């Protein structure tokens, strides 16, 4: 039954025959990416074992290359993304051999390179910034509402039902976790921290849509509500984030929001300066308080939060030397030495260094830093009254950069994040997007197979 995932290739083929590559991404890939858990695979003897989003992406990726490769001029960000994928695949091959490396190589091609390049080449050229944001946000909003069921009953239908009826034995390692007596909602994303990161992405995109006036006043098939559609979706995504009870994404989201809102301020340079000074001044007492929090005297009883913080501190100290032993390309995805009782590594930079080396981690950090600098400069060059997509992307990247210190990056969130990076790079390199002024988006397409000029109100 699990081989049904291969139907996704056929669905992708139908989409690219009927739609442009960008619209195929929006109408076929995005729903699959956000709804179907990446933990389920088609176990196929002699072939790679794709998840649903990988299967759908295959024809969309090749259709995008066929349509737009001749217009592609590789950028620094493109090279960094491809280098990240290449070092991960090489690391796995050296550590575990061809069989394991085959599956990882297919994964990095169709979950890192492909989402990045499709968004990079198609979205700006086809003028689909608003349409992609709306599709991503609305599906995440529905997922957030469905998460209230998991929050109340502690049972995740996105994982339990497919495993019971189709993917027997897959995904059993993921269970609903609890904090403060409440179920932490994971939805289709396997773990609550991953769901929290997905909600942060959707929330930031929706604020951009709401500020730009892109949502109609009310939902089409519902009676008029006392609250606008955009604001209701904002509140729904905020609730969706809260019920994950994931502090890492919360902290990242708050810091990302600081940069986004400073970019919206009429005196944005002063706002950024004040914000950075406040962060710098708050960092010192926060560090002192954190050290005092960890200073547990003999005989004192630790709280659960203190135990978690102590675990992470000791975990980093013990695994740091192990990571340096194989610093360049790491130990492999599943073959890094495990410290007894510390199999769960909550710092993704440390985990990535263990699996695929400090080189891969440096490439990822360099990519996020390079994108952030350019997005900041792009946003600062836009008029203050523009609802800036540059600052929206910057807020998402900062949220992820901070979150990954305390959380794991995996499952559906990996292709979603690299899709976002590709979308941002296409926006930076493209010439079609003119920004938003007084609720209007002006887009003028570059030369290509889909040529048109349009104004979206």
pLDDT in tens, 212-230: 888 887 777 777 778 888 8
| Sheet with 453-456: strands ordered across | 433-437, 440-444, 453-456
Question: Among all chains, which residue has been given the structure tokens 């080189």?
Answer: 359
Q: What percent of the chain has pLDDT over 90?
A: 48
Closest CA to 225 of 217, 234, 213: 217
Residue at token pair 């990571």: 323
Q: pLDDT tens-digit profile of 105-128?
A: 888 999 999 999 999 999 999 999
Q: What is the pLDDT of residue 196?
A: 94
Which among 311, 329, 307, 308 is positioned nearest to 319, based on CA atoms? Answer: 311
pLDDT tens digits for range 141-177 = 999 999 999 999 999 999 999 888 888 888 777 888 8
Confidence (pLDDT) at 336 = 77
Q: Residue 311 has what pLDDT?
A: 67
Range with the poorest average pLDDT among 3-12, 361-370, 441-450: 441-450
Other beta carbons within 10 angstroms of residue 28's beta carbon come to: 23
3-state DSSP assignment of residue 446: coil
Alpha-carbon distances of 448 from 54, 122, 130, 443, rounded to whole Å: 27, 10, 20, 14
List Cβ<8 Å contacts ≥24 apart for 349-355. 349/404, 349/405, 350/315, 350/316, 350/319, 350/320, 350/323, 351/408, 352/409, 353/323, 353/327, 354/319, 354/322, 354/323, 354/330, 355/88, 355/91, 355/330, 355/331
Read off the pLDDT of residues 7-28 as tens digits, 9 standing for 90 and up: 999 999 999 999 999 999 999 9
pLDDT at 434 over 80: no
Of residues 456 and 290, which shows the higher confidence score?
A: 290
Is the pLDDT higher at 113 or at 333?
113
What does DSSP assign to residue 76?
H
Mean local confidence (pLDDT), 222-249: 89
pLDDT at 146: 95
If phi > 0 it is left, if psi is from -120 to 50 it is alpha, else beta; for residue 452 that is: beta
Using CB atoms within 10 A of its CB, is residue 285 exposed (0-12), middle (13-18) or buried (19+)? exposed
Residue-wise pLDDT for 30-74, tens only, equals 999 999 999 998 888 877 788 999 999 999 999 999 999 999 999
Average pLDDT over residues 433-454: 42
Least confident of 109-113, 122-126, 331-335, 339-343: 339-343
451 pLDDT above the threshold of 60:
no
238 or 433: which leads in pLDDT: 238
Q: CA–CA separation, 335 vs 351, rounded Å?
A: 12
What count of other Cβ atoms lies within 10 Å of the Cβ of residue 298?
4
| Residue 439 CB contacts under 8 Å (≥ 6 apart), including other chains | 212, 213, 214, 457
Instruction: Give the model's confidence band at 131: pLDDT under 50 very low, under 70 low, under 90 confident, else very high.
Output: very high
Q: 435 by DSSP, 3-state: which? A: strand
What does the alpha-carbon distance between residue 181 and residue 3 come to, in Å, rounded to a whole number?
Answer: 38
pLDDT at 401: 92
Tens digit of pLDDT for each residue in 192-216? 999 999 999 999 999 999 988 888 8
Q: How far apart are CA 46 and CA 292, in angstroms?
A: 55
Instruction: Give the angle 76-80-84 at the CA atoms, nearest 5°.
Output: 175
**Prediction pTM value:** 0.88
- d(CA 298, CA 295) in angstroms, rounded, equals 10
Q: Closest by alpha carbon to 420, among 78, 116, 65, 58?
A: 116
Domain locations along the chain: 2-265+296-456
- What residues have CB less than 8 Å from 357, skipping those under 6 apart? 87, 91, 326, 327, 328, 329, 330
**Which tokens go with 201?**
């992405």
Q: Which residue(s) pair with 456 in the sheet? A: 441
Q: Rounded to an integer, what distance in angstroms lies between the CA atom of residue 279 and that of residue 65? A: 43
pLDDT tens figures, 248-258: 899 999 999 98
Model confidence band, residue 278 (pLDDT cutoffs 50, 70, 90): confident
DSSP H helices in 69-110: 76-96, 98-108
pLDDT at 298 over 90: no
Q: What is the mean pLDDT of residues 87-115?
A: 86
Predicted pLDDT at 288:
56
What is the arithmetic mean of pLDDT over 230-257? Answer: 92
> At residue 441, does pLDDT exceed 70?
no
Q: Contact 66/121 with Cβ under 8 angstroms? A: no
Question: What pLDDT shows up at residue 305?
Answer: 60
Radius of gyration of the chain (CA): 22
DSSP notation for 246-288 = -HHHHHHHHHHHHHHHHHHSTTHHHHHHHHHHHHHHHHHHHHH
Is residue 440 within 8 A of residue 455, CB to CB? The reply is: yes
């Amino acid at each position: 039954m699990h081989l049904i995932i291969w139907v996704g290739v056929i669905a992708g083929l139908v989409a690219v025959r009927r739609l442009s590559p960008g619209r195929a991404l929006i109408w076929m890939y995005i729903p699959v990416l956000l709804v179907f858990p990446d933990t389920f695979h088609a176990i196929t003897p002699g072939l790679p074992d794709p998840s649903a989003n990988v299967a759908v992406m295959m024809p969309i990726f090749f259709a995008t290359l066929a349509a737009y490769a001749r217009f592609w001029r590789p950028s620094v960000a493109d090279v960094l993304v491809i280098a990240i994928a290449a070092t991960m695949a090489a690391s796995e091959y050296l550590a575990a051999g061809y069989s394991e490396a085959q599956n990882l190589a297919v994964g990095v091609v169709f979950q890192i390179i492909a989402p990045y390049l499709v968004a990079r080449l198609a979205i700006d050229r086809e003028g689909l910034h608003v349409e992609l944001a709306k599709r991503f946000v609305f599906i995440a909003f529905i997922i957030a509402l469905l998460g209230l069921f998991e929050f109340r009953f502690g049972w995740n239908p996105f994982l339990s039902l497919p495993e019971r009826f189709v993917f027997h034995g897959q995904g059993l390692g993921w269970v609903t976790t609890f904090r403060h007596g409440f179920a932490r909602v994971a939805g289709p994303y396997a773990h609550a921290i991953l769901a929290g990161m997905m909600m942060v992405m959707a929330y930031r995109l929706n604020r951009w849509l709401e500020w730009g006036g892109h949502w109609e006043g009310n939902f089409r098939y519902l009676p008029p509500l006392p609250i606008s559609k955009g604001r209701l979706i904002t509140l729904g995504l905020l609730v969706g984030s809260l019920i994950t009870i994931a502090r890492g994404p919360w902290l990242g989201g708050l810091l990302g929001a600081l940069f986004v809102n400073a970019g919206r301020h009429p005196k944005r340079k002063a706002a950024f300066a004040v914000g950075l000074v406040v962060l710098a001044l708050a960092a010192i007492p926060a560090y002192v308080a954190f050290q005092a929090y960890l200073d547990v005297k003999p005989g004192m009883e630790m709280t659960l939060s203190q135990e978690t913080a102590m675990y992470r501190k000791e975990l980093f100290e013990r695994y740091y030397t192990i990571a340096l032993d194989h610093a360049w390309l790491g130990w492999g995805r599943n073959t890094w030495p495990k410290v007894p009782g510390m199999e769960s590594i909550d710092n993704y930079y440390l985990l990535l260094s263990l699996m695929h080396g400090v080189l891969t981690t440096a490439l990822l950090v360099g990519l996020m830093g390079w994108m952030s600098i350019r997005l900041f400069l792009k946003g600062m060059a836009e008029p203050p009254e523009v609802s800036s997509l540059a600052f929206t992307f910057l807020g998402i990247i900062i949220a992820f950069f901070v979150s990954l210190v305390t959380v794991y990056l995996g499952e559906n969130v990996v292709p979603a994040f690299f899709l976002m990076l590709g979308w941002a790079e296409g926006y930076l390199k493209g010439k079609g997007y003119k920004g938003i002024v007084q609720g209007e988006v002006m887009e003028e397409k570059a030369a290509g197979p889909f040529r048109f000029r349009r104004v979206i109100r």
